[in-house]
Structure 1
Amino acid sequence: MNIKWAEKLRKSLHGTADSLGNLCVESFHYLALFGIGGITAWAAVVTFLEMLSKGGVSVDDILLLFIYLELGAMVGIYFKTNHMPIRFLLYVAITALTRLLIGDVSHHKAPDEGLLYVCGGILLLAFSILVVRYASYRYPSSRVLDANGKEVDEGR
């Protein structure tokens, strides 16, 4: 009889600790996402106001706004799906390298081998997106989650 009581107490403590741990992790995720989303929106507004105050817009400025847009989209997708698509990070990286490429060529010096490195990086990232898209199409995730995020066995 004592053993059953101890096992019941252990399961109860485990369930409470598991629930508390999940609450802490989810709270941290939401707090961090709100912070990242807020900072991204703030940075986009500041950049936009700076563009208005200087009276002109460069391609660098537009590409920077696209980076903010992609970061905001990533936060929004994570809120909705609880998954972070790697493709959006690759899009941000491509946009950042394109911004670097345009800024370097138009503002500074004549093109050199650094230009080839940046272009090679963009090409590598574009190829990475192709690989990720092919892999997700060819090998889709077969996990089904319930409303609590627990995996559901559908008779497989």
Structure 2
Amino acid sequence: MKINWAENLRHSVHDLAESLGNLLVESFHYLALFAIGGITAWAAVVAFLGMVEKGHITVDDILLLFIYLELGAMVGIYFKTNHMPVRFLIYVAITALTRLLISDVSHHHSPDMGVVYVSGAILLLALAILVVRYASSQFPSVSAEKSGQKRSQSGQASDGEPEAD
């Protein structure tokens, strides 16, 4: 014999705990995103001011600003969609390796196997982007009905990008 009041109370407690847990997780999520975005913007401003103070800007400095730009864009996309854009992480890695390669060649002036290794790593990361783009267009993690976006015949979302990475 079931006791209806006890079962209803159990469901109410479960729903309350689930709602409170979701509130705490989402609050931490947004707080962390704001913190990461703010720290990224602060680091970019400090780096830019350092470049201005130095009086000249190198290619290394420009690539560093691109890294900050990609990190900021990644935080913005994650904030809006709740999806981690894996491609942006790979773009940051490619930019960082390119910065390392340019810095190494411009400061040491002697090409060695390190240049080949870094170039190979950049090539592997570029291939990884191709794999991720292909996989996200063929096997999207979010269907068009769930995300509210209309998909075209090519499997792209209405903004021209595949829906998921």
Instruction: Report the TM-score, using the length of structure 1 for normalisation.
Output: 0.89
Alpha-carbon distance between aligned partners in 1 of 2:126 and 2:147, rounded to the nearest angstrom: 31
Match of 2:51 in 1: 51
Offset at 1:116? 1.1
Match of 1:106 in 2: 106
In 2 relative to 1, CA 77–142 (structure 1 residues): closer, same or farther, beyond 3 Å? closer
Does 2:29 align with 1:26? no
Alpha-carbon distance between aligned partners in 2 of 1:138 and 1:119, rounded to the nearest angstrom: 29
Give per-residue Cα distances to partners, 1:43-80, cap 9 Å, x unaligned.
Answer: 10011111111110000000000000000000111111
Instruction: Report the TM-score, using the length of structure 2 for normalisation.
Output: 0.84
In 2 relative to 1, CA 22–80 (structure 1 residues): closer, same or farther, beyond 3 Å? same
> What secondary structure, in the 3-state scheme, does the structure 1 residue paired with 2:111 have?
coil
Offset at 1:84? 1.1
Which 5+ residue runs of structure 2 have no aligned equivalent? Answer: 149-165
Alpha-carbon distance between aligned partners in 2 of 1:44 and 1:145, rounded to the nearest angstrom: 33
Match of 1:81 in 2: 81
TM-align CA RMSD? 1.5
Total equivalences in the alignment: 146
